Amino acid sequence: MKKLLISILFVFIGLFAVDRIGGMLMWWVNQHTHDVSGPKIKYLVNEIHEDILLMGTSRCNSHYVPSIISDTLGVSVYNGGIDASDNIYAHYLMLNHILAIHTPKVICLEVMTSDYAKQVNPFNTISFFAPYFGINEGADSVFHLAGSYWKYQISHLYRYNAKAASNIAGLIVNRNIGGDNGYIPCPQPAHYPSSLEYSKTPEEVDSMKLMYVQKFVNLCKGNNIRLIFMVSPNYTKIDDNHYDALKAIAMRNKLPFLDYHTKGLYHDHPEYFKDPSHLWDRGARLYSSVFASDLRRVLEQR
């Protein structure tokens, strides 16, 4: 019996050592990878210093050209859009990390239906940020909400589970092609969207998501940051009430809401789109000029 207990103890010690050493190795990989999102998350957590910060998912990532916006406004701009970050939980988590080192003057948040609609697994992609677990209490609160907090607390190696293959591949192939302050352009597609389809407004609203949209707003207000919501062009037709749940929050908090989707910007130019949800580089540059002019007008109102 004593030998069995000793054997079990050695197994646990071995597993602990493997987990901690593996965690340190994967941290090194995470900090040196050149995959799509790793370098950008690292920059946002450790180096961000620009006056205007753009936040959101892949639609932010590939729709806003910082140099165009910066030239119009005369201030520094960074595109902090993170591919596949999915919804408000990821944005709120990231905002906590950013505010720990820097307070932008303006934050522009690209919002989507996923920021208010019910989803089967709304926390599916916050694991992308797990390598930075344990350094910011506000960010870690999202892991508490998701139910993954103790998994990351116990296992350091598990924190890299979501992006391990991508991070390792990024040591070999440089996929981080964003040379314009975080902007990662979509390439020109072989075929443009062929028809303008209807996108149904989600029927079920997630009250917890809306609470986190308000928490995002409150964090910005508490740090005297001007917050703007925007929705970039999308090659789908929608009803006028498509973003009402988010517009209500904007109205309640007296925030600008720049909606280019509902009014159908570029619906007559399918050649600007890579797919129904994303502009390719040509469309993004044209849209960035439009957005920059509108943003300047909004910022001049105060």
pLDDT value of residue 7: 67
- pTM reported for the whole predicted model: 0.94
Q: Report if residue 63 sits inside a domain.
A: yes
Q: Report if residue 147 sits inside a domain.
A: yes
CATH number (domain holding residue 249)? 3.40.50.1110
pLDDT value of residue 206: 96
Per the structure, the complete domain to which residue 83 belongs is given by 31-299
pLDDT digits (tens, 9 = 90+) for 158-211: 999 888 888 988 888 876 665 789 999 999 999 999 889 999 999 999 999 999
Q: Report if residue 26 sits inside a domain.
A: no
> Both tokens of residue 188?
């020109």
Per the rule left: phi > 0, alpha: psi between -120 and 50, beta: everything else, 220 is alpha
Q: Report if residue 101 sits inside a domain.
A: yes
pLDDT value of residue 257: 98
Residue 237 clears pLDDT 70, i.e. is over it: yes
Residue 17 clears pLDDT 90, i.e. is over it: no
Q: Report if residue 60 sits inside a domain.
A: yes
pLDDT value of residue 176: 66
Residue 84 clears pLDDT 90, i.e. is over it: no
> Both tokens of residue 39?
């370098």
Label each residue of 261-300 as H, E or C.
Answer: CCCCCCCCCHHHEEECCEECHHHHHHHHHHHHHHHHHHHC
pLDDT value of residue 260: 97
Q: Report if residue 62 sits inside a domain.
A: yes
pLDDT value of residue 25: 93
pLDDT digits (tens, 9 = 90+) for 98-136: 999 999 999 999 999 999 999 999 998 899 999 999 999
Contacts of 69 (CB under 8 A, 6+ apart): 52, 54, 77, 288, 291, 292, 295
Q: Report if residue 17 sits inside a domain.
A: no
CA distance 94 to 81: 10
Count of domains forming the chain: 1
Mean residue pLDDT of the chain comes to 93
Q: Report if residue 190 sits inside a domain.
A: yes
